[in-house]
């Protein structure tokens, strides 16, 4: 097991309405200051407005990208949709299996930028309805995406071992979406980082 495993705070954008934002500019500034104090350099942002309504909160990404490397999951359905997310300040855009219209959209996205990753959605099985995803095994989805040129993957704890067996390699980056910081103790050294809700992280060093 790795002695030093990078921890990346997860910031969940739960959605906003005409009258309410999940995080005001003041709240974002306060969060940013706290993350910097704790020496975090990267943030994983899961944007439910983007995933569920195709209305990503790009203003939040723009603000936070001034201080952090942003790993951004906003649910782009097609490869062409990633450009706006990159322009907004995302360092890596994760296309997630639940949102994709087709696995081949990842190949299209990678033809536009190499800053593309795959996020595996999982609930007692692979979640996704797109061509090349629905009814396909996790191993085939991982292998197919890897063959397209993707090298950065976010997976849940449940499938870490299978992911490592399927796409092991020096150039592959595997990140784990964990339920709690303590999960880091059980993760193999082949994993690059663990992603945990910022609300569960203590005030210690990042």
* Residue range 68-119, pLDDT digits in tens: 999 999 999 999 999 999 999 999 999 999 999 999 999 999 999 999 999 9
Buried b (16+ CB within 10 A) or exposed e, 59-89: ebbebbbeebbbbbbbbbbebebbeebbebb
What is residue 170's DSSP assignment?
T
Percent of the chain with pLDDT over 90: 76
- Angle at Cα 177 formed by Cα 191 and Cα 175, nearest 5°? 30
Q: What residue spans define the domains of the chain? A: 6-200
Buried b (16+ CB within 10 A) or exposed e, 175-189: bbbbeeeebbeebee
Q: Tell me the pTM.
A: 0.92
CATH fold for the domain made of 6-200 = TIM Barrel (3.20.20)
Which ranges of the chain have pLDDT less than 50?
Answer: 1-2, 204-206
Give the whole-angstrom CA distance, residue 11 versus residue 29: 13
Judge contact between 98 and 105, C-beta under 8 A: no
């Amino acid at each position: 097991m790795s002695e030093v495993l990078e921890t990346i705070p997860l910031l969940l954008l739960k959605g906003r309405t005409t009258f309410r934002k999940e995080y005001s500019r003041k709240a974002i500034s306060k969060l940013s200051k706290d993350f910097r104090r704790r020496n975090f350099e990267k943030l994983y942002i899961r944007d439910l407005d983007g995933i569920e309504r195709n209305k990503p909160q790009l203003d939040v990404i723009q603000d936070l990208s001034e201080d952090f490397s942003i790993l951004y999951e906003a649910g782009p359905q097609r490869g062409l949709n990633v450009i706006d997310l990159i322009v907004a300040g995302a360092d890596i855009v994760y296309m997630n299996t639940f949102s994709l219209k087709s696995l081949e959209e990842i190949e299209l996205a990678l033809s536009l930028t190499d800053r593309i990753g795959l996020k595996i959605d999982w609930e007692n099985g692979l979640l996704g309805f797109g061509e090349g995803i629905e009814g396909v095994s996790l191993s085939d989805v991982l292998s197919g995406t890897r063959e397209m040129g993707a090298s950065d993957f976010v997976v849940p704890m449940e499938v870490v071992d299978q992911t490592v067996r399927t796409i092991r390699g020096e150039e592959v980056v595997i990140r784990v979406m964990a339920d709690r910081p303590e999960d880091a103790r059980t993760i193999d050294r082949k994993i690059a980082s663990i992603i945990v809700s910022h609300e569960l992280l203590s005030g210690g060093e990042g």
